[in-house]
Amino acid sequence: MQTKRLGPQTLRLSHPPSVVSFANIGGKMEGEGPLADFFDNLSTDSFFGAKTWEQGESVMQHRALETALEKGGLTASDLDFVLAGDLLNQCIGTTFALRNFHVPFYGIYGACSTMGEGLSLASLLLDGGFAHLAAAMTSSHYCAAERQFRMPTPYGNQRTPTAQWTATAAGCCILGAQGDGPYITHVTCGKIVDMGITDVNNMGAAMAPAAYDTLRAHFQATGEKPKDYDLILTGDLGALGHEIVIDLFANDGIDMKKNYHDCGLLLYDLEGQDMHAGGSGCGCSASVLCGYLLQGMQKKRWNRILFAPTGALLSPVSSFQGQSIPGICHAVVFSNEKGDVQ
Amino acid sequence: MQTKRLGPQTLRLSHPPSVVSFANIGGKMEGEGPLADFFDNLSTDSFFGAKTWEQGESVMQHRALETALEKGGLTASDLDFVLAGDLLNQCIGTTFALRNFHVPFYGIYGACSTMGEGLSLASLLLDGGFAHLAAAMTSSHYCAAERQFRMPTPYGNQRTPTAQWTATAAGCCILGAQGDGPYITHVTCGKIVDMGITDVNNMGAAMAPAAYDTLRAHFQATGEKPKDYDLILTGDLGALGHEIVIDLFANDGIDMKKNYHDCGLLLYDLEGQDMHAGGSGCGCSASVLCGYLLQGMQKKRWNRILFAPTGALLSPVSSFQGQSIPGICHAVVFSNEKGDVQ
C-alpha cells in the first residue's frame, strides 16, 4: 500500500489520476460574466429546451457529460463509474440526466461541496485500481434552487446584501488512471462543522468554518503552507465567507491573502451583475473548475491548485425547525506534476 | 492490482473487509414485527425524544452509530470515513446526526439503495488501503417520509394495495481492514434503469427492473447462479416487486424462488400489521441487515448472502412534472469465508 495517509483526513495518492477531459455548461448570467469565454456551452434559455427548470438542470448535466465524453474521444461505456449529485431534492438533476447513459453510478450528496466529494471519491477509486476512467459531475440552477430553498423567482423577493446567486451551471470532469495531467495528488475528506449560524441568507458565514477546518487539516497533514500553491480556491463562500476564512487563518498567523480566492467571486462581475456577495451552488465551483481553472493549468498559468468546495448541509425544513447550518468542505490538490513531492 | 474487475460493474476484492460491528434502531411498528428481537434499540416514541420527526430520524442515526461504536469497543475518532445518507431532502437525517461526531464524511444519495451504496464504497476504500475502519449508515422514518413524499400522516390518507410502509429504522455497519468476518468479497455497482413506471404508489414495480439488472450483471460477471448463495436479498421491493424479479429471471430460465427474499417482506407481519405490499425506506434493508442478517451469518445460519438494496430515484417534483421513476440497485456479497473463491 503505497498510498500514504498523511493525517486523519488526508491521503497522498500513489498513482495520481489524471484529468482526461472536462466540460462545463452555463446559463444567461454565466454567459454575461467574466468567465464566459471559458464555457463549452452557454444558453440564454433558462429551460435549456426542457419544460421545467428542474428538467433544464438535468439537460445541463446531460450536456456536460456528453460534451466531456466527446472532447475526450470517449463513449459512456468507457466509464467505470460516475459520481454525481446536485442540490435538488433527491438529486433529480443528476438522476434524470444519467438515466439514458447506462453507466455505473454512485449518487453523492455534499451540497455545494459535491464537486470536491466526487473528485475525491473518483480519485480514490482510480488510485485503488478499481477503475480506468471515472467521472465527477454536478450542477445547480438558479430558478430551481430559488423555488426549492427560498421563494419562486416570479415573486421578485428582495435579496439581502449577504445573499449569493445560485449559478445556473454544470461541470463534469473525467479522470483516468492514465493521462498527461493535470493530476490529482492529494485528497482531504471534510468533517461536518456547525458553528451555530442560522441565517439562511448568509451561507458564506455558515460554511467558512468548514473551509477553514478542512484547509487547516490539509496543511497540517501535508506540512505545507499557502505559498506552496499557485492558487487556493474555495467553492462558493462569496465575499463575506472569503473574508472570514482569511481572518480565521490570520488568527493562526497564516497569511492567505496572496493566493486564496473563491469561485463565487470569479464567476460573475459582482457589482456589474448585481450579484451581492457572489455566486453559489454546486455548479459554481464545478463550472469554474471545468473551464477557467483546468484550462489555466493546461496552459501552465498555474501548476498547483488546492481546490476546496464547501457545502451547507441544511434543508428548508431544518431551518424552519430552528436548526443551525452545518457545513462541510472536501479538498483535492491538482498538480501538473504527477510525482508531486510535497 | 490484485482486485479483479470481473465485469463492467463487478469487482472482486483482494483484501475483503470484515464486518467489525453493527447496530440497528427501530420504532413502534418494527418492535411489533417478527424481527423485533434482532434490534439493538426500539422506541415506541416516534419522535425518539426530539421535537420533530425529522430530528427524530437524526436521533436514530446518532444512536445507530453510537451503538455500533460501543459494541465494537470503538470511538468516533477510530473511523477513517463515514458514508451515509437518507431519504429526507438534502439528507438532513444524516447530516444533523453526524454533526457532533467530528468524523470524515462522504454524503451519499441512493434512495433506498443507500446501504448497498455505502457498503460498496466503504469496502472499496478499505480494499484500496485508504482506511482501517469505515462505517456505512442510513435511516428512514415513516412520518417524515410520508409528509415529504405523499401526505402528512394526520390526513389519514387511504393507502393503495401496492403501497409500502416506510420503515422507521436505522442501521449502521462498521467495516474494517482486519476482522473475523463476515467479509464483503464482491461489489456490483448499479446503473439507473427506468422502465417508464409512473405510479408513485407502486415503487416495487418501478424498482424491480433495476434489481434484475444489477443481479443479472452480478451473476454474469461472477459466473455464479442463485444456488451459489444461501440467501439473495433485495431491499424493499415488497410483494409485487419481489414477484416481478422472480418473473424476469424466470424468462431467462433462472429459478430465483428457492433462496431469494426481500427485506421489505421480512421486517413486518404483512397481514397482521396491515402493511399492504411490505416495508420500504432506506432503513428497511439497513436495519434487517444490521441485526437479523448479520447475526444469522455470525451464527452460521447463512454463510453467503447477496445483499442488493434498490432505490427509486424520483422526487415529488419529478412525479408532479409527469416523469417516470428511475431505479437503481447496488449489490455486495457477504461471506463467512475471507478467501471466498467464487
Enumerate the H helices of A142-281 as residue ranges. 142-149, 203-222, 238-251, 263-266
* Percent of chain A with pLDDT strictly greater than 90: 89
Backbone dihedral angles phi then psi of residue B301, each to the nearest 5 degrees: -65, -40
For residue A194, which residues of chain B lie inside 8 Å, CB to CB? 99
The rounded distance, in Å, linking the Cα atoms of A273 and A265 is: 12
Which residues of B are less than 8 Å from A192 in CB distance?
95, 98-99, 101-102, 105
From chain B residues 36-75, the ones with a CB under 8 A of any chain A CB are: 51-52, 54-55
Please state, rounded to an integer, the average pLDDT across all residues of chain A: 95
The distance of A112 to chain B (nearest Cα, Å) reads 11
Tell me which residue has cell 505559498. A227
Chain B CA closest to residue A324:
B96
Tens of pLDDT, residue by residue over A292-313, are: 999 999 999 999 999 999 999 9
H helices present in chain B, as ranges: 28-31, 53-71, 92-98, 114-127, 142-149, 203-222, 238-251, 263-266, 282-288, 294-298, 316-320
What confidence score (pLDDT) does residue B341 get?
53
Q: Pseudo-torsion of CA B178, B183, B187, B190, nearest 10°? A: -120
ipTM for the predicted complex:
0.97
pLDDT digits (tens, 9 = 90+) for B83-103: 999 999 999 999 999 999 999
Tens digit of each residue's pLDDT (9 = 90 or more) over A259-297: 999 999 999 998 899 888 899 999 999 999 999 999 999
Cβ atoms within 10 Å of B211's Cβ, excluding its own: 32
Burial class of residue B31, CB neighbours in 10 A (0-12, 13-18, 19+): middle
Confidence of residue A201 (pLDDT cuts 50, 70, 90): confident
Mutation target for A interface from B1, B317, B321: give the one with most A CBs within 10 A. B317
- Kindly determine whether residue A85 and residue B54, on different chains, have CB atoms separated by under 8 Å: no
β-partners of residue B26 are: B42, B169
Q: Do B90 and A111 touch (CB under 8 A)?
A: yes
Q: What is the sign, positive or negative, of the torsion defined by CA atoms of A41, A170, A96, A146?
A: negative
Strand partners for A280: A166
Chain B interface test: which of A10, A62, A109, A321 (most B C-beta within 10 Å): A109
**Chain A: residue whose CA lies nearest to B89:** A89
For the stretch B289-303, pLDDT in tens is 999 999 999 999 999
Does A319 lie at the interface with B, CB-CB under 8 angstroms? no
Task: Say what the pLDDT of residue A274 is.
Answer: 85
pLDDT in tens, A120-153: 999 999 999 999 999 999 999 999 999 999 888 8
Phi, psi of A314 (to 5 degrees): -105, 175
pLDDT computed for residue A158 by the predictor: 84
What's the rounded mean pLDDT across residues A55-70?
A: 98
Which residues on B lie below 8 Å from A148 (Cβ)?
317
Per residue in A79-91, pLDDT (tens digit) is 999 999 999 999 9
CB contact under 8 A, B109 and A104: no
pLDDT in tens, A318-329: 999 999 999 999
* Angle, in degrees to the nearest 10, between helices B203-222 and B238-251: 40
**What was the pLDDT predicted at A163?**
86
Nearest CB to B130; choose among A11, A96, A190 = A11
Give me the sign of the Cα torsion angle A86, A92, A95, A97. Answer: negative
Is residue A58 pLDDT above 90, yes or no?
yes
Q: Supply the pLDDT for residue A252.
A: 97
pLDDT at B1: 43
> Which phi and psi angles does B289 have, rounded to 5°?
-65, -50
Q: Are B67 and B23 in contact (CB under 8 A)?
A: yes
DSSP letter at B10 equals E
pLDDT mean over A155-184: 93
Cα distance between residue B22 and residue B167, in whole Å: 18
pLDDT bucket at A32, cuts 50 / 70 / 90: very high
Closest CA to B137 of B43, B72, B58, B33: B58
Of B3, B11, B121, the CB nearest to A121: B121
pLDDT above 80 for A1 = no
Residues 6+ apart with CB under 8 A from A162: A199, A201, A202, A204, A205, A238, A240, A276, A277
Q: Which candidate in A55, A80, A192, A320 is best for mutational testing of the B interface (most B CBs within 10 A)?
A: A192
CA distance to A85, A184, A256, per residue, from A116 (Å): 11, 11, 20
**Interchain pair A107, B107: CB under 8 A:** no
Tell which B residues from 243 to 282 touch A, by Cβ distance under 8 Å. Answer: none
Nearest to A89 among B89, B121, B323 (CB): B89
From chain B residues 68-107, the ones with a CB under 8 A of any chain A CB are 77, 80-81, 85, 87-92, 95-96, 98-99, 101-107
Q: Is the peptide bond before A309 cis (omega within 30 degrees of 0)?
A: no
Verdict on whether the full-model pTM lies above 0.95: yes
What's the confidence (pLDDT) of residue B3?
A: 67
Q: What is the largest CA-CA distance in chain A?
A: 56
Q: What is the mean pLDDT of residues B121-147?
A: 97
What secondary structure, in 3-state letters, does A118-162 show? HHHHHHHHHHCCCCCEEEEEEEECHHHHHHHHCCCHHHCCCCCCC
Do residue A103 and residue B191 have CB atoms under 8 angstroms apart?
A: yes
Cα distance between residue A40 and residue A24, in whole Å: 6
* Mean pLDDT of all residues in B246-272: 96
Q: How far apart are CA A169 and CA A264, in angstroms?
A: 12
Q: How many other CB atoms are there within 10 angstroms of residue B324's CB atom?
A: 17
Q: Are strands B81-86 and B105-107 parallel, antiparallel or unpaired?
A: parallel
Closest CA of chain A from B137, distance in Å: 14
Chain B residues close to A107, C-beta within 8 Å = 108-110, 117, 313, 328
Residues of A in contact with B314 (CB under 8 A): 90, 92, 95
d(CA B140, CA B287): 10
Q: Which of A5, A90, A103 sits opposite B111 (nearest CB)?
A: A90
Q: How confident is the model at residue B124 (pLDDT cuts 50, 70, 90)?
A: very high
- Rounded to 10 degrees, the C-alpha dihedral A116/A325/B106/A228 comes to 40
How far is the C-alpha of B203 from the C-alpha of B221, rounded, in Å? 27
Distance CA B94, CA B96 (A): 6
Residue B189 has pLDDT above 70, yes or no: yes
* Local structure of residue B159 (DSSP, 8 states): P
Pairing outcome for strands A279-280 and A165-166: parallel
Picking from B109, B130, B191, the nearest residue to A128 by CB comes out as: B130
Report chain A residues whose CB lies below 8 A from the CB of B111.
90
Of the partner residues A130, A190, A315, the one whose CB lies closest to the CB of residue B90? A315
pLDDT for res B4 = 83
pLDDT band at B192; cut points 50, 70, 90:
very high
Percent of chain A's residues with pLDDT above 70 = 98
Task: Measure in Å the smallest separation between the Cα of B308 and chain A Cα atoms.
Answer: 14
* Residue B304: CB atoms within 10 Å: 20
pLDDT value at residue A3: 67
C-alpha cell at B52: 420533530
Q: How far is B299 from chain A (nearest CA, A)?
A: 32
CB contact under 8 A, B117 and A125: no
- Considering only CB atoms, B192 lies closest to which of A81, A95, A328, namely A95
pLDDT digits (tens, 9 = 90+) for B1-24: 456 899 999 999 999 999 999 999
pLDDT at A240: 93
pLDDT confidence tier of residue B342, bands split at 50, 70 and 90: very low
Which residues of B fall within a CB distance of 8 Å from A203?
none
B131 DSSP 8-state letter: -
| Touching B: A residues 137-156, CB under 8 Å | 148
Inform me whether the pLDDT recorded for A200 exceeds 60: yes
CB contact under 8 A, B317 and A89: yes
CA B185, distance to chain mean position in Å, is 17
